[in-house]
Amino acid sequence: MSTPLRPRTTTAFYAQASISFGVSMAAVAIGIAYLPLGAWPRAFLALGLLFTVTSAFTLAKCVRDRQEETEVVSRVDQARLDKLLAEQDLLRVDVH
């Protein structure tokens, strides 16, 4: 039995996502740096940005892990079903 291929992220999509992330972080960091505020409010906003980014990475990892767990359970269930069907001979005739 062959296992289905997992879809892979293309290099172009990975590059686009990485560049988009870098540009957005830089834009927000520059925006915070040029705000007409004192050092403490800017530091507070920078820490808020850092916390938001790390939380987003953590959430993305949790979503990915849950998807992988579901995929493994589906494979186990499929293997059990395949084994059960392989053991059954629907064309067998019981003669008593």
pLDDT level of residue 6 (50, 70, 90 thresholds): low
Q: Are 45 and 32 in contact (CB under 8 A)?
A: yes
Q: Could you give the 3-state DSSP secondary structure of residue 6? A: coil
Q: Which residues contact 3 (CB under 8 A, 6 or more apart)?
A: 75
pLDDT at 36 over 90: yes
Q: Which two tokens stand for residue 14?
A: 């990975």
pLDDT for 96 equals 59
- C-alpha 79/C-alpha 85 separation (Å) is 10
Q: Pick the more confident residue, 5 or 50.
A: 50
Tell me, yes or no, if the pTM score tops 0.75: no
The CB-side HSE value for 9 (13 A sphere, CA atoms) comes to 8
Burial environment of residue 81 by CB neighbours within 10 A (0 to 12, 13 to 18, 19 or more)? exposed
